[in-house]
Amino acid sequence: SLFMITLKRSTMSIRYRLTWITPPQTLEEIDYLFQWINSYLTEQAILPVRSLSDLKIQPLFDPKESLSIQFKFDVLNAAVAEKLRTTLWRDVFQEQIQGPHPFVVSLVAETGAVEPKKLVVFDMDSTLINQEVIDELARKVGVYEQVAAVTEEAMQGHLNFQEALIKRCALLKDLSLSEVLSLADELSLSPGAEALLRTLKTHEMKTAVVSGGFQVLLNHFQNQYGLDFVYGNELQVSPQSLLTGAVIPPIVDAQAKQDLVKRLKEQLGLNQNQVITVGDGANDLKMMQEAALQVSFCGKPKLAEQVNTLILDRNLGWLNSLL
């Protein structure tokens, strides 16, 4: 149609890249995915990809044998791309797709995809590491159930992050600093994280952790893995080296996370296209706005529904395939 031809030729259109990483597929399955994605493009009045030969299909073997399938197409504006992303993500979450469920899905403007990345910012709990630190500390004190109840209150929207953190930290009163530090040896990096950090260092990319967790443990991980920047919350400690149950302000919440990433970008002289943010929860949502590649790592729905990149398989090594 005339509309579609005009759309294709418009100098105002924006090129997008959809990356779909799955277990190995047969040619028949790839063709089905091709037709399926094209149906979404057509639904949003986007000119479909012409043929299978226009796809970039690449076998991957790390972190596991897989296939990276890349679609490129032009959209009239970012709002159209956002509508497409929302629709696709909905069906990914609801498993409305036939064929192998993807390990990774990413829909990013080509300008944001191709510019070399200089900074990767991670959340800590359940992202860079497998555990939630405050839960592990609560187990040491024997107050896990009480802490979990406060967490649930926050998840139900009855408490904001700051209120929930203050309430949970109060339950850790009189835990010794040595016990907090001993937890460092019990925490484990998420699958693929150690190899990823080595790769980022090899490519001279800066690494940062911006966390609602605790600075004292972040310092340990910084020393152990050579992280460039770490920012977290400071626990107040008594002269007897016991936790007082208080958190020293300012508290690192969602807004503070965004402000810290913004400050890092300014400090390093970077633009949005040079930054990746990786997290798993609603507290990471604001900092995602500072990056071209916004990664939900097996994230909770409130985050995953709003970012442009989903890692659905619990291995941070998948991030390598998007660099």
Q: Which of 27, 40, 105 is nearest to 75 (CA)?
A: 40
Identify the three-state secondary structure at position 71. Answer: strand
DSSP one-letter string for 193-233: HHHHHHHHHHTT-EEEEEEEEEHHHHHHHHHHHT-SEEEEE
Alpha helices in the chain (DSSP H): 2-9, 27-43, 78-93, 110-114, 133-141, 144-155, 161-170, 177-182, 193-202, 215-225, 254-268, 285-288, 301-304
User: Could you report how far apart the first and last alpha carbons of the chain are, in Å?
Assistant: 37
Q: How far apart are CA 299 and CA 265, in angstroms?
A: 24
The residues with which 73 forms a beta bridge, in sequence order, are 16
Number of H helices, E strands in the chain: 13, 11
123 assigned to active site: yes
- The CA-atom distances, in angstroms, between 7 and each of 75, 109, 208 are 8, 17, 40
Catalytic (active site) residue 125? yes
Catalytic position from the list 54, 91, 125, 135:
125
Of 54, 74, 91, 123, catalytic: 123
- What is the gyration radius of the CA atoms in the chain, in angstroms? 22
Q: How far does Cα 247 stand from its chain's mean position?
A: 26
- Give catalytic residues, as residue numbers: 123, 125
